[in-house]
């Protein structure tokens, strides 16, 4: 079964209607019906039942359609890899990126990179670092940008060192008396949560008074802006923030508590020219330090 036949089965399964499928495939209905009969003849079984309300895959047909779909996916992946391995910098790079880095830092980097290599496209997945790491290990992304130091024996480079900060509406909330003030908590990855919890346990004997739980750090920041309490945020989301009081948290030696961002890639994946160029474009950038985040 060739690529054309695989595409026919996948489109028929999606549309469940010969008229609609023929329009999608840019072939006539008689031609499509004939080709479907030939495919069924080659397999010596019925792939679709013809009902009055449309086409319904048979159990055997479901297996053949899945085979067709997998073949098309493999072909697309192979063609994409061939593009990436060519002498011209082109193709699609699949990135897995920690959410806040993807929101605050990545857009400007991509803009600059695509001015250099306009034929490179990107597919980007953002989320919690631990989830992105699992996708990266499965090979579903070419490059991962993650919070925390994951175990990895291949290509790896430090991208950013950022401060963790107490954020309040004004200076009335004193850092040494935080347990007395309402704290706005938000969903965070385990790496950031462990950093903050370890600092808190080293600094205070009382638990924090969590007055509100929200789904994201941006929501937490807006609640602070409404003077509903304080929160503890990574510096990456506080760049050029003018309206809030921001103070980096420090350890017992008066050193800033920091969060690290790392760049990960497989050595073999660097054989793809576009991936190689983008990986080294990121790697060769000066590592972002706490002062680079321009926290007001």
Looking at the structure, do residues 241 and 263 belong to the same domain, yes or no? no
CATH of residue 124 = 3.40.190.10
Give the domain CATH number at 214: 3.40.190.290
Q: Are residues 129 and 19 in the same domain?
A: no
Give dist(CA 116, CA 282) in Å, integer. Answer: 13
The whole-number average pLDDT for the span 28-49 is: 88
The verdict on 150 and 184 lying in the same domain is no
- Gyration radius of the chain over CA positions: 26
pLDDT tens across 181-239, in order?
A: 999 999 988 899 999 999 999 999 999 999 999 999 999 999 999 999 999 999 988 88
pLDDT at 225: 95
269 & 127 share domain: yes
132 with 275, same domain: the answer is yes
- Rounded-to-integer distance, Cα 258 and Cα 165, Å: 9
**Are residue 115 and residue 237 in the same domain, yes or no?**
no
Tokens of 83: 């593009």
In a domain, residue 85? The reply is no
Percent of the chain with pLDDT over 90: 51
Beta bridge partners of 126: 97
Banded model confidence at residue 145, pLDDT cuts 50, 70, 90: very high
Buried b or exposed e, range 44-73, using 16+ CB within 10 angstroms: eeebbeeeeeebebeeebeebbeebbebee
Q: Are 258 and 214 contacting, i.e. CB atoms less than 8 angstroms apart?
A: no
pLDDT-based confidence at 296, cuts 50/70/90? very low
Considering the domain architecture, whether residues 203 and 141 belong to the same structural domain is answered as: no
What pTM, to 2 d.p., does this model score? 0.67
Q: Give the domain CATH number at 31.
A: 1.10.10.10
Structural domain harbouring 276: 91-161+259-293
What is the rounded distance in angstroms from the CA atom of residue 179 to the CA atom of residue 177? 6
Contact 129, 160 (CB under 8 A): no
Domain tally, the chain: 3
Asked whether residue 243 is assigned to any structural domain, the reply reads yes
Residue 81 lies in a domain: no
Which 8-state DSSP code applies to residue 73? H
Q: Considering the domain boundaries, does residue 126 fall inside one?
A: yes
pLDDT at 124: 97
Sign of CA dihedral 89, 95, 101, 104: positive
């Amino acid at each position: 079964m060739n690529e054309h036949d695989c595409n026919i089965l996948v489109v028929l399964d999606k549309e469940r209607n010969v008229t609609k499928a023929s329009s999608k495939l840019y072939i006539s209905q008689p031609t499509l019906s004939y080709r479907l009969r030939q495919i069924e003849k080659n397999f010596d079984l019925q792939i679709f039942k013809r009902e009055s309300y449309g086409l319904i895959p048979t159990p055997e047909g479901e297996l053949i359609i899945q085979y067709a779909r997998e073949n098309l996916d493999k072909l697309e992946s192979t063609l994409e890899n061939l593009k990436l391995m060519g002498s011209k910098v082109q193709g699609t790079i699949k990135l897995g990126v920690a959410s806040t880095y993807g929101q605050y830092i990545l857009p400007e980097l991509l803009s600059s990179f695509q001015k250099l290599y306009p034929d490179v496209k990107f597919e980007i997945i953002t989320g919690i670092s631990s989830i992105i790491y699992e996708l990266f290990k499965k090979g579903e992304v070419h490059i991962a940008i993650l919070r925390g130091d994951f175990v990895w024996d291949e290509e790896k480079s430090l991208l950013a060192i950022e401060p963790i900060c107490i954020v309040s509406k004004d200076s009335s909330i004193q850092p040494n008396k935080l347990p007395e003030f309402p704290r706005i908590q938000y969903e965070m990855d385990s790496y950031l949560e462990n950093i903050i919890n370890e600092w808190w346990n080293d600094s205070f004997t009382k638990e924090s008074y969590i007055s509100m739980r929200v789904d994201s750090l941006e929501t937490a920041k807006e609640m602070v802006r409404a003077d509903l309490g304080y929160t503890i945020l990574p510096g990456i989301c506080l760049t050029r923030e003018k309206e809030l009081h921001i103070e980096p948290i420090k350890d017992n030696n008066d050193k800033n508590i920091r969060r690290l961002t790392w760049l990960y890639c497989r050595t073999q994946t660097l054989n793809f020219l576009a991936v190689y160029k983008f990986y080294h474009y990121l790697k060769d950038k000066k590592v972002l330090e706490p002062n680079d985040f321009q926290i007001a």
